[in-house]
Structure 1
Amino acid sequence: MSFSGIEQLFTSPPEEEASRTNALRQAEATASTLWESSHDSPDLQTLAQKAGDAARDELWRTPLGESGLLAFFCRLIDTDGLPSQLAIHTLRVIGNSCADRDENRERVVASGCLSKIVSRLADDSLVAIAIPVLFNICVDYEPAQKALYKAGINPALVRIISSPRLENASPVTSIICRLLILVAPQEPEDGLVDSTTPFALLSLAMNTKFPVDLEDFLGLTSVALTYLFKTQFQETFLQTPNAINLAFRAFEKVCGEGGDSLNTSEADGDDQEELKQVQLAFIQTFAELSGNDLFAPLCPLNGPEAQTLQAWISMRKPPLQSAACLILGNIARADAVCTSLVQNARVHEPLISILRDPSHDTDPQLLHSVLGFLKNLAIPAANKPVLAAAGLVDILPRIWAFDVQPQIQFDAASLARMLLVHCPETVRLVCAPPATSDEEPKSALQLLMDLHVRSDQEPTKMETARAAAMICRVLHSGSLDNAGGVASKSTALPSLQEFYDTRHPALMDALVYLGLQDKFPALRSEFLFVLALMARSPEGAGVTARLLRQDARLMGVLVKAVTGQEFQQEEDDEDDEGVDKNKEEGPRNSADAIAALGLEGLNLEAPQAPEQATNISRAPRNSSVPNPDRENGLVLIAELLARCPTELSPSMRTTFTSIFQTEGKQLSNNKSDAQE
């Protein structure tokens, strides 16, 4: 076909597609000849221009592909030294031919020219045309998206948006955004994703010189967060100056805060939903990012980032408040930091205000974040009384009533338990009767035990049971708090007589639950220690005896802990008829019992804290290795035999006496051997 014939073809195209295809086959032969004769042929450039113009009309797109002319231009773009104008029109032919034509996109991918087109992005004169061409090739066509990712589109685009070259590409900034979004789902591979991508995307989203619209902002931030959730991108991001502040400003923008907040007044329902999803993605990513070891040193408490987070907590923006709690909670993994946040920054006060506000009751994300942060703050001993006195003991019972939110119930029960650990001040507040006009007012302790009875969630029941054990431990520890400190004289704990005169049946049930569970040996050890401690007082001994008598399974736990053998229940006459309850069945007191057996060294052994213990050592009976459960069990038996033998059934007294004599002597011999 002559060149004039080609001009006529595009001016007056045949009506039938087959005729157009045949004519283009001849045009392809002419184009090949022109290229072979001269790479700088003006006629070839004109042909490329006319083919590119024609491809804007959908009636030419299929013929361009089937005729082989598209394939010719795919080969041409892969040629080094292609004249600039010819390169532009060649790209136009390829891009326009692929508009809404998957078969042509398939041809372009199969030709292998994508890598060459991507390389053309390094030429500022071709960026504005090459980027739309690449978008046309891969939009709505996943095979092209994968191929484009393999061709290195991500690092090529990141180099553009991270440099002054962005100004040259400003007319196609929106398309750059969409290309980055299209290839983001591909699994990152070395060399195919620039490690600075998250920072570059957030920087582009927040660029005030070349602002993006709402859709592109949400797309860019969403992709940036997707990458940031992956560990391999976090280190580079955190090591980039101003990165954390950039992420904070972007999050404020998506939450409608800050000087450059988004204009969402015209956002439709889909945009509003995506806005919420991006907010949630920010929160989840911040939780992950702040858990990185590099994060905390970059956010010192006296630095601007930490100050920003504390300011978020006081804002009435739940997403900001949730994120601040999660981030600060991860920062506050050292006692010194937690203590400073409470004692100096008073960060707990706005947190308590959030819990007190009923308008947040239906926001589980916020409540979970606040309670989780408070649990971290409650770990240092110095913080516990401050938090309890600030109103938490008054607020938590309201949250324990959230039966439709079991995770929040668990968080609140867990926080209560942590506030009670070795803290007489909290125990006093929890046990104190409320200042209320209700007909039957209940203390916080009673309401916590109501939760234990009511809940069907094992983690919640476990936390309430541990709380019950801790209350008993503190009450029976006297003035010493077992953590090395001395309780304040102003604490005014209830007396044991006063405590046991107030009926707490559910508390006893909670102790039974703790003792019978076998999932966590460390917690069962805590149970045995608390029972032994309780039995060292006249008031507690009677309660402990009745517990063991009412549930034979607890006897089994105790016997096995001391002897290693299963407990065989014996029949008892009801009400011990025929037994002289005044007859001395055991030693007058535990000290006499211990002395009689030569066990002066037998003392209560505080078990390892459950948070640190993975299991409790089960030393053989004849071993010199200490076994806290065994020694605590023997102390418990000695105290019960000495203080309240008449509260025990005949079979219990017989069993305990035999165990005390046999196991106590064995333990004494082991201790003597160890000392030698």
Structure 2
Amino acid sequence: MVLNEYRIESGKHGRNCCVVSQFCMPYHSAQAPGAEMRLKIAARVTDSSPAFFTSNRHKILAIMSSAMATADTDTLSAVDAVLQGDEKTTDALIPLLDVLEGMSEQSQSTASARFWMASRDEAWRIPLGESGVLSFFQSLIPTATEPTLTLNALKIIGNSCAEKDANRKRVIDHPLSLTPIITALSDAETRIIAAVVLLNICTDYEPAQLAAVEKDAVTTIFNVLTEDGFDDPLDYFLRVLELLISHDSGKAAAPEGALETLLTALEYGQEEFDNTLSLVSILSSLLTTQRFHRIVVKGDGLFSCVLDAIEKTYDLTVDVERESKDNSLIAYARNQLIEAVCEIATDSEFLEVYPLGGEVMGRIEKWLEVQPGKEELAVTACMVFGNVGRSDAVCIELVEKGLQKPLLKIVEETADRFDESVKQAREKKEAVEGGGEVAEKLPTGAMSVGVIHAAVGVLKNLAIPASNKRVLVETGAFRAVRRMLEMEGVGVGQVWYSAVSLGRLATVNTEPNAKELLASTPETQSTLSLFLKRYAEVEELPVKVEISRTIAAVLRIIYATDSEPKKELLNGLLAHPSPALEDALWDMVTQDKYPVVRSEGWFALALFAREKEGAERVRTGFAKEMQLVKDTAQGESRDRENVAVLCAGLKALGEDEGVEEILRRVVVGAVDG
């Protein structure tokens, strides 16, 4: 950032110095013949005749003033000779320190303009620091009475520190450090220049940022922004704050009213693109801290203002020439705020301040209506409801209020849009290639996948309380599950996982839902059939595990009592093809990533083998996994007992090979245990 006379220019400054050449050494002001003679005459008159001096006081002072003016003029000429010379070195500047110190403040002010102009030239910046000139002008700021001197001194510091870490270090190591600059932020005459100077010192230089925080720059800037009548451009103040707030100490230094200041500027200000982004960035940085979370939760209307800020990011006008970059910046800033909002919703007192039936939560629920180009609002709403819905009581209340309806609508409509985009891509590909094979890679539809994943995340929470399960399926949960499993394209693996997870949770311990899961018609296959179809196609273990666990959940319902198994359900399960059904159960015990799932698998196999039809279905897998069964027979007691039940079922079929040996191992294992 170069400080010029009429404007502030920003830009990159090179680090290469110019080639030096010869220069003329300056002479001290006392060496000027005319000046020296006038000073001697005035001194002699004063000493020899006090009365004469008194009666001719004004004339004598005029002579002395003339002598001093002539001296300063001569010294300024010496300054010009050096600064306008070709040799831009430290040695060239060192003699000028004595010259500067001998000047009156008015002349120092005049000379400061010369040094400021010189500091615009990168070649002078390091010499200004090494010679001590930079420190000299830094020392003048607190005591200067000439406004021009103060401004020029600030400009010299600002220019000298532009991308020059050595000078930045000199400034913060100076006894005054950054205090004069930060103090200048509070003066209406100097604050804009001081903000630019501080930005130059702090950009890409962490020691200066931390020093500025230590010297109360954060508090000072927020105080300036809230002053009555403050109407200066925000640019440089905000850019400095962005740097300082990036540190934990900077966030800690921000006053409690900082959020209100930023939100007010966003709500009522007519800021340009860059300033709005800066405001959002600072706001989201502060909202990463627990202190400001609490302030938002407790603050009157602050959370609504944060929601306003998110919506405002969609109204920003971007520069056509840098549309892609600007849109990326907007998305990043928006996502930062969204993360903050979702984190705030986890606060234990959030629902006390913003109850489910209240205005704020009602506004968030409206965001569930997906708007093209504003899909992030729907994702945000889902995440907020997911974070508040972490207890059975809240989830039951949400279902009573019908939250599942807009969530299921999101899933189905977003899946439709995703499939339409895939269809268009295929048609375009076929048109280009003359009807050739469709490329394997289809559009990822990352946003569509993200929206669906967020909505199903909430639905899974809602499906945990027992009283909610039937309501969800009656509202269309299985229809939505089927719709997700019908999606095809790159990136849908996560959607399939969400689908089968929701299906399993809705089935657990709920007989009517299990019946619906198994039910088929002449026109449509059952939902479980669709599960098994995807099971054969996917490689991702989590998807396979969820499908296997769904089958296990059905078996638990079938054998939920000591009475006869529920034949209707058992027949519905057995109607699904072999070996897909039983293979999914055997895969539970052969995988070694999830021990709990392995135990659940042994239990499911034991249940299945209790009936003749089930035992027949697991026989092939038993022979194939004989060694695993033998090893498990001597393993943990829970799994060992389930293996015994499995073997008993097979023995009832007349299966002899290996069964007796395994049962003996079970007995031995029980005794040893």
Pick from 584, 596, 612 the counterpart of residue 510 of structure 1: 584
- Deviation, 1:188, is 1.5
**Shift in alpha-carbon separation, 1:62–1:652, aligned structure 2, 3 A:** closer
| 1:354 maps to 2:411 | yes
- Deviation, 1:539, is 3.8
| 1:95 maps to 2:95 | no
> In the alignment, which residue of structure 1 is the partner of 2:466?
381
> In the alignment, which residue of structure 2 is the partner of 1:652?
659
TM-score, normalised to structure 2, is 0.73
Matches within 5 A, 1:92-171: 92-98=155-161, 104-112=167-175, 113-139=177-203, 144-161=208-225, 163-165=226-228, 167-168=229-230, 170-171=231-232
**Shift in alpha-carbon separation, 1:56–1:543, aligned structure 2, 3 A:** closer
Render the CA deviation track for 1:166-192: whole Å, top value 9, x for unaligned. x42x3131111111123344x313886
- Deviation, 1:238, is 3.7
Distance of 1:467 and 1:310 partners within structure 2: 31
Distance of 2:642 and 2:469 partners within structure 1: 28
- Deviation, 1:17, is 3.8
Of the structure 1 ranges 64-73 and 212-221, higher mean CA displacement relative to structure 2 is found in 64-73
> In the alignment, which residue of structure 2 is the partner of 1:530?
604
> In the alignment, which residue of structure 2 is the partner of 1:584?
none
| 1:338 maps to 2:391 | no
State whether residues 579 and 617 of structure 2, in contact with CA within 8 Å, keep that contact through their aligned partners in structure 1: no
**Shift in alpha-carbon separation, 1:72–1:471, aligned structure 2, 3 A:** same
> In the alignment, which residue of structure 2 is the partner of 1:397?
482
State whether residues 83 and 118 of structure 2, in contact with CA within 8 Å, keep that contact through their aligned partners in structure 1: no
Distance of 2:666 and 2:498 partners within structure 1: 42
> In the alignment, which residue of structure 2 is the partner of 1:573?
none
> In the alignment, which residue of structure 2 is the partner of 1:314?
369
> In the alignment, which residue of structure 2 is the partner of 1:4?
73
Paired AA for residue 337 in structure 1: V
Of the structure 1 ranges 446-455 and 320-329, higher mean CA displacement relative to structure 2 is found in 446-455
**Shift in alpha-carbon separation, 1:107–1:17, aligned structure 2, 3 A:** farther
Paired AA for residue 656 in structure 2: S
State whether residues 535 and 541 of structure 1, in contact with CA within 8 Å, keep that contact through their aligned partners in structure 2: yes
Paired AA for residue 224 in structure 2: I
Render the CA deviation track for 1:468-526: whole Å, top value 9, x for unaligned. 111222233379999xxxxxxxxx99442354244242121111111233443333333
Pick from 517, 520, 543 the counterpart of residue 433 of structure 1: 520
State whether residues 198 and 237 of structure 1, in contact with CA within 8 Å, keep that contact through their aligned partners in structure 2: no
- Deviation, 1:467, is 1.0
RMSD: 3.9
Distance of 1:122 and 1:244 partners within structure 2: 30
Distance of 2:641 and 2:365 partners within structure 1: 48
State whether residues 299 and 306 of structure 1, in contact with CA within 8 Å, keep that contact through their aligned partners in structure 2: yes
Distance of 1:133 and 1:332 partners within structure 2: 49
> In the alignment, which residue of structure 1 is the partner of 2:429?
none
- Deviation, 1:262, is 2.4
Render the CA deviation track for 1:184-229: whole Å, top value 9, x for unaligned. 44x3138863264872574255141x43211121123124323433
SS at match of 1:171: coil
**Shift in alpha-carbon separation, 1:534–1:31, aligned structure 2, 3 A:** same
State whether residues 322 and 365 of structure 1, in contact with CA within 8 Å, keep that contact through their aligned partners in structure 2: yes
- Seq. identity, %: 27
> In the alignment, which residue of structure 2 is the partner of 1:453?
536
- Deviation, 1:321, is 0.6
- Deviation, 1:322, is 0.8
Render the CA deviation track for 1:13-70: whole Å, top value 9, x for unaligned. 86414489888656542442357xxxxx544445446655675677876765565333
List gaps (5 residues or longer) in structure 1. Answer: 36-40, 483-491, 565-617, 619-626, 671-676
> In the alignment, which residue of structure 1 is the partner of 2:625?
551
Render the CA deviation track for 1:403-439: whole Å, top value 9, x for unaligned. 6323232222212211111122222222122563xxx
Distance of 2:632 and 2:462 partners within structure 1: 36
> In the alignment, which residue of structure 1 is the partner of 2:431?
none
> In the alignment, which residue of structure 1 is the partner of 2:248?
188
SS at match of 2:466: coil
State whether residues 205 and 221 of structure 1, in contact with CA within 8 Å, keep that contact through their aligned partners in structure 2: no
| 1:500 maps to 2:561 | no
Matches within 5 A, 1:270-285: 270-285=325-340
State whether residues 512 and 554 of structure 1, in contact with CA within 8 Å, keep that contact through their aligned partners in structure 2: no
> In the alignment, which residue of structure 2 is the partner of 1:71?
135
Pick from 218, 233, 238 the counterpart of residue 277 of structure 2: 218
Distance of 1:631 and 1:495 partners within structure 2: 25
> In the alignment, which residue of structure 1 is the partner of 2:525?
442
SS at match of 2:454: helix
SS at match of 2:234: helix
> In the alignment, which residue of structure 2 is the partner of 1:608?
none
State whether residues 91 and 130 of structure 1, in contact with CA within 8 Å, keep that contact through their aligned partners in structure 2: yes
